[in-house]
Amino acid sequence: MTLSASIQSQVAQALFEDLNGSQADLDITAQLIPAAQTSNAKVITREDSIICGVDWVNETFKQLDEGLEIQWLVKDGDEVKANSTLFTLSGNARVILTGERTALNFLQTLSGTATATSIYAKQIAHTDTKLLDTRKTIPGLRLAQKYAVKCGGGANHRIGLYDAFLIKENHIAAAGGIDKAVEQAHQIAPGKKVEVEVENNDELKQALNAGADIVMLDNYQPEDIAKAVEIANGQLQIEVSGDITIETIANYAQPGVNFISSGALTKHVRAVDLSLRLE
Helices (H) and strands (E) in the chain, counts: 10, 12
Alpha-carbon gap, residue 23 to 16, rounded angstroms: 9
Which residue is catalytic, options 59, 197, 203, 239? 197
Catalytic one of 27, 78, 218, 239: 218
Tell me if residue 133 is catalytic: no
Query: Annotated catalytic, 46?
Result: no
Residue 158: active-site member: no
168 is catalytic: yes
Return the SS3 of 266.
helix
**Alpha carbon distance, N-terminus to C-terminus of the chain:** 39
What is residue 251's DSSP assignment? H
| CA-to-CA separations, 219 to 104, 215, 228, in angstroms, rounded | 36, 12, 13
Distance CA(66)–CA(92), nearest Å, equals 11
DSSP result, 8-25: HHHHHHHHHHHHSSS-GG
The secondary structure of residue 6, as a DSSP letter, is H
Q: Which of 184, 241, 172 is nearest to 211 (CA)?
A: 184
Q: Exactly one of 136, 193, 205, 267 is catalytic; which is it?
A: 136
What's the CA gap between 35 and 98, in Å, rounded?
Answer: 12
C-alpha distances in Å from residue 145, one per residue of 13, 91, 103, 265: 16, 30, 15, 9
What would you report as the CA-atom Rg of the chain, rounded to the nearest whole angstrom? 23
Q: 196, 214 in Cβ contact below 8 A?
A: yes
The one catalytic residue in 17, 46, 69, 101 is: 101
State yes or no: is 142 an active-site residue: no
The phi, psi pair for 149, rounded to 5°, reads -60, -40
In angstroms, the CA 204 to CA 202 distance is 5
Residues taking part in catalysis: 101, 136, 168, 197, 218
